[in-house]
Amino acid sequence: MKNIHLIILTFFILVLQACTLNGLNDQASMYGIISDSQDQPISGVKIEYKTRNAVDSIFSSIDGTYRITLPRGGCGYFNFSKEGYTPQTIGKSFKSGEEINHNIILNMISENINPY
């Protein structure tokens, strides 16, 4: 009888480990380059994101690149903003394990003003 309990306990431990390891692979990520209308990278852009499982923010690096790791598949909203530029919000769907390349172009606020 002890052997049966030991076998069942071992089985449950193995299943639990497999579920935990699979959970690590559920992460998705979105990455890209943020640039201006002259194709120059913009550093320090705040990227705020909200998904079903996460709310957080990061900043683009000095070369305008960013990478967001998302806990699992789903959908979310991503807001890109920096003083002097028109903010941009996008909605994205993503699958577990997916890597999405999404480049962003932000316009300077002065570029949005029509003098006529």
What number of other Cβ atoms are within 10 A of residue 108's Cβ? 15
What number of other Cβ atoms are within 10 A of residue 43's Cβ? 13
Integer CA distances (angstroms), 59 to 12, 40, 81, in order? 42, 16, 10
User: Which residues neighbour 26 within 8 Å (Cβ) at sequence distance 6 or greater?
Assistant: 71, 72, 73, 96, 97
- pLDDT tens across 36-84, in order? 999 999 999 999 999 887 789 999 999 999 999 887 778 889 999 999 9
76 found inside a domain = yes
67 found inside a domain = yes
Q: Which of 22-26, 46-50, 88-92 is predicted least confidently?
A: 22-26
Average per-residue pLDDT for the chain:
81
- Structural domain range at position 91: 27-110
Task: Give the domain CATH number at 75.
Answer: 2.60.40.1120
Q: What is the pLDDT of residue 114?
A: 61
